[in-house]
């Protein structure tokens, strides 16, 4: 009879049922058959034969019993083997599945490590390299085959960027401390060929289930470009891009440290304020590119004459600052005079033209009594202007506030002006220009200028314009006015009123002003027909050819021009026919007393007549009462301007309420300022 076994769904043997049943049935059957045979024999045979048969039967029974036990034992062993085989098969299958899953996981890990942008190195518990991914191979210069088994320090060579000293081995730290090490941010990797990479790195121990450290994984990436960009950004924030000297902001920071050391330790320092003489001539004659090159060459020149521990900075334009650390006053004067001599002997050559320069230096000692950087810079600025006023090309040591002369007051005011230009402390006002005749002419506005002093108080133009003109700051103020009007107050030119903007004689000598104005008009999409530039009669006559060309170029794009203070010069009528202006502004000195003075009245009438004869509209300035206003109407004067018609007021008062503050963005026009001579206005 065949042996039958049963398996569960997994192939496990669950029993040999039929084999066991065969044995339990066959054994009694065999015994019964043997007994029957014995009975048969007893009936037909003698006692001896019966005895032999019984013996044989007994032997047969014993044999059958023994055989049955063996068979049962074999069956049991067979079943145990079947169960063991089934368990082994299950274990093998599970192991195969685990190995397959492990192989798949390993493949995924290797593909991932090959694909990521970070470099990865793994080591064993002794710090020997086990694995490098392709990025790590590229950065270190080692292939996996070459690096495997080598100490990490041979493959991963890192130093501190600043000092060049060897950086600590992160793997050794992991193996020793059994935790991730802190990594410095200035680490540089030196590759096998010697190339240097700025890197960021992290390391962590690889642990077994029981906590034993099996090795270390090191992950790092190339941050060379990002680090360079960050360093460049930091450098740009503290350095002048043209000369590569430190800028004003960084200079003031270092000056603060010097003041602190003077106060705390009694150390002596000195501050020098340097202003190049004749620099504007170079700019105006051969252009700003030449001016930039001149500044670079002067920077090299000055660097050669200062000590390594001193600080040279470009403060703006053609102005430099020099901080002499640990330097008594006598030595500071000696260094400053050497700088003056060096610049004076220097010759700048550009396109076959040679220029001789000079430098005026204001010097202030920094002692324990210094109040702060702002005061020191203001004092150095005043000393520099004093040096200029004394004939230029020299050193002047600040002497305190003991000279209350008009000249000294202008020097101090000039120093304040420089700060006002840099800090955007000018404000625009306006005064109306009213049409007097019923001929459809619209009212106009003239922009006027005010300055805020260090205390925030408003300073009228007659308190700072003379100093601005004397110390060559007026052209910068002119540009500030133009830029601010066209940018921050662009809305003014959409009101339908013509807006008057004053230009000084210094600005008219600037060859680059025309391009500057044209660029601003294009940039802000200005309606040029509402822009009216006012120039004084004196400035126009002194620069007649240049002024005529300047006016023609701007009138071509729609701008208009007014000749201001007409009648104050001796040659007004002679030159009027050559100037293509649109308005004559009659000098207020004639208008102010015309109601009582017949000569002044006749002058106003004559100027009005000449203007109309040449096709030019007339504007009377300084109109202070109704009597004068009525006389001007009777004469046929076209416009009037003065206190009787409106006092100067902040330009923001004209801002439409619906526009709100959005029409006046606070920071829009705050680039490096450049101002304008305020319009003539009623006293």
pLDDT band at 15 (very low <50, low <70, confident <90, very high): very low
551, 581 in Cβ contact below 8 A? Answer: yes
189, 157 in Cβ contact below 8 A? Answer: yes
Which two tokens mark 103? 């192989």
DSSP state of 393: S
The strand pairing partners of 531, in sequence order, are: 499
Residue with token string 């009377």: 620
Nearest CA-CA partner of 335 in 326, 327, 347, 345: 327
| Contacts with 660 (C-beta within 8 Å, 6 or more apart), sequence order | none
Q: Given this model, what pLDDT does residue 13 score?
A: 45
Q: Could you tell me the end-to-end alpha-carbon distance of the chain, in angstroms, rounded to an integer? A: 138
- Burial (CB < 10 A; 0-12, 13-18, 19+), residue 32, is exposed
- Higher pLDDT among residues 532 and 266, named by residue: 532
- Higher pLDDT among residues 406 and 301, named by residue: 301
Pairwise CA distance, residues 337 & 330, whole Å: 11
The count of other CB atoms within 10 Å of the CB of residue 525 is: 9
Which two tokens mark 122? 């793994």
Q: Given this model, what pLDDT does residue 657 score?
A: 59
Which two tokens mark 542? 């002194």
Q: Given this model, what pLDDT does residue 554 score?
A: 95
162, 186 in Cβ contact below 8 A? Answer: yes
Residues in the chain: 683
CA dihedral (280, 282, 288, 291) positive or negative: negative
Average pLDDT over residues 88-116: 70
Residue with token string 């007021």: 649
Average pLDDT over residues 372-396: 87
Q: Given this model, what pLDDT does residue 438 score?
A: 75
Which two tokens mark 208? 């077994």
**What's the pTM value of the predicted model, to 2 decimals?**
0.54
403 φ, ψ to 5°? -130, 80
- Burial (CB < 10 A; 0-12, 13-18, 19+), residue 402, is exposed
Q: How is 601-650 classified by DSSP, letter by letter?
A: HHHHHHHHHHHHHTT-EEEE----SHHHHHHHHHHT--EE-STTT---EE
Nearest CA-CA partner of 118 in 190, 206, 201, 191: 201
pLDDT tens track for 561-613: 999 888 765 455 666 777 889 999 998 889 998 989 999 999 999 999 989 99
Which two tokens mark 27? 């054994």
Pairwise CA distance, residues 130 & 147, whole Å: 8
| Contacts with 58 (C-beta within 8 Å, 6 or more apart), sequence order | none
Residue with token string 């006598």: 330
Does residue 679 register a pLDDT over 60?
A: no
DSSP state of 492: G
Average pLDDT over residues 240-249: 92
415, 290 in Cβ contact below 8 A? Answer: no
Give the 3-state DSSP-derived string for 81-100, with helices as H, strands as E and coil as C: HHHHHHHHHHHHHHHHHHHH
pLDDT tens track for 491-516: 999 888 899 999 988 888 888 889 99
Pairwise CA distance, residues 432 & 651, whole Å: 11
Q: Which of 395-399, 435-439, 471-475, 538-542 has the highest mean pLDDT?
A: 395-399
- Burial (CB < 10 A; 0-12, 13-18, 19+), residue 620, is buried
Pairwise CA distance, residues 181 & 163, whole Å: 20
216, 175 in Cβ contact below 8 A? Answer: yes
H or E element, residue 376: helix 373-389
364, 383 in Cβ contact below 8 A? Answer: yes
Q: Given this model, what pLDDT does residue 6 score?
A: 46
Mean pLDDT of the chain: 82
CA dihedral (90, 91, 93, 97) positive or negative: positive
Which two tokens mark 552? 């023609």
């Amino acid at each position: 009879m065949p042996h039958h076994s049963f398996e569960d769904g997994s192939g496990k043997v669950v029993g040999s049922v039929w084999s066991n049943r065969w044995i339990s049935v066959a054994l009694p059957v065999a015994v019964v058959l043997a007994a029957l045979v014995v009975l048969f024999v007893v009936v037909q045979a003698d006692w001896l034969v019966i005895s032999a048969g019984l013996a044989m039967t007994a032997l047969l029974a014993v044999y059958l019993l023994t055989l049955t036990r063996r068979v049962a034992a074999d069956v049991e062993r067979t079943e145990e083997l079947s169960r063991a085989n089934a368990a082994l098969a299950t274990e093998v299958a599970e192991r195969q599945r685990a190995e397959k899953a492990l192989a798949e996981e390993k493949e995924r890990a290797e593909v991932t490590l090959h694909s990521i942008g970070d470099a990865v190195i793994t080591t064993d518990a002794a710090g020997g390299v086990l694995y490098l991914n392709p990025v790590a191979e590229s950065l270190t210069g080692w292939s996996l085959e070459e690096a495997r088994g080598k100490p990490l320090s041979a493959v991963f060579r890192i130093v501190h960027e600043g000092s060049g000293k060897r950086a600590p081995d992160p793997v050794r730290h992991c193996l020793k401390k059994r935790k991730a090490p802190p990594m410095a941010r200035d680490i540089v990797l030196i590759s096998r060929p010697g190339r240097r990479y700025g890197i960021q790195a992290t390391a962590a121990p690889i642990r077994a289930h029981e906590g034993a450290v099996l090795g270390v994984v090191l992950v790092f990436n190339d941050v060379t470009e990002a680090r360079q960009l960050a360093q460049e950004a930091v450098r740009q924030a503290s350095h002048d891009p043209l000369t590569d000297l430190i800028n004003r902001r960084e200079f003031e920071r270092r000056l603060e440290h010097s003041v602190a050391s003077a106060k705390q330790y009694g150390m002596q320092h000195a501050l020098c304020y340097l202003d190049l003489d004749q620099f504007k001539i170079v700019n105006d004659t051969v252009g700003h590119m030449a001016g930039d090159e001149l500044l670079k060459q002067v920077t090299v020149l000055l660097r050669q004459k200062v000590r390594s521990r001193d600080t040279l900075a470009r403060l703006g334009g053609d102005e430099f600052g020099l901080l002499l650390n640990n330097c008594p006053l006598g030595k500071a004067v000696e260094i400053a005079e050497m700088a003056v001599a060096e610049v004076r002997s220097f010759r700048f050559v550009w396109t076959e033209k040679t220029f001789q320069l000079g430098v005026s230096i204001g010097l202030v000692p920094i002692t324990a009594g210094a109040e702060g950087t702002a005061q020191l810079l203001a004092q150095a600025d005043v000393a520099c202007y004093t040096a200029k006023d004394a004939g230029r090309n020299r050193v002047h040591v600040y002497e305190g506030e003991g000279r209350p002369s008009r000249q000294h007051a202008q020097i101090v005011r000039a120093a304040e002006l420089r700060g006002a230009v840099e800090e955007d402390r000018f404000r625009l006002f306006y005064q109306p220009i009213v049409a007097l005749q019923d001929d459809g002419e619209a009212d106009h506005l003239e922009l006027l200028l005010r300055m805020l002093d260090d205390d925030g108080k408003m300073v009228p133009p007659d308190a700072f314009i003379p100093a601005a003109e004397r110390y060559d700051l007026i052209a910068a103020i002119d540009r500030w006015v133009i830029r601010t009007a066209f940018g921050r107050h662009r809305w003014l030119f959409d009101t339908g009123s013509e807006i008057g903007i004053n230009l000084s004689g210094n600005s008219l000598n600037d060859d680059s002003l025309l391009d500057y104005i044209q660029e601003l008009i294009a940039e802000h999409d200005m309606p040029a027909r509402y822009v009216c530039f006012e120039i004084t009669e004196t400035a126009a006559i002194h620069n007649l050819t240049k002024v005529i060309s300047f006016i023609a170029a701007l009138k071509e794009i729609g701008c208009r021009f007014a000749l201001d203070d007409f009648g104050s010069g001796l040659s007004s009528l002679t030159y009027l026919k050559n100037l293509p202006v649109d308005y004559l502004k009659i000098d207020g000195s004639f208008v102010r007393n015309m109601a009582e003075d017949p000569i002044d009245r006749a002058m106003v009438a004559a100027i009005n007549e000449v203007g109309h004869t040449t096709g030019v509209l007339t504007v009377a300035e300084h109109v202070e009462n109704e009597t004068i206003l009525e006389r001007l109407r009777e004469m046929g004067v076209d416009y009037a301007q003065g206190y009787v018609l409106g006092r100067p007021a902040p330009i923001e008062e004209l801002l439409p309420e619906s526009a709100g503050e959005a029409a006046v963005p606070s920071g829009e026009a705050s680039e490096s300022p450049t101002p304008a001579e305020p319009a003539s206005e009623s006293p």
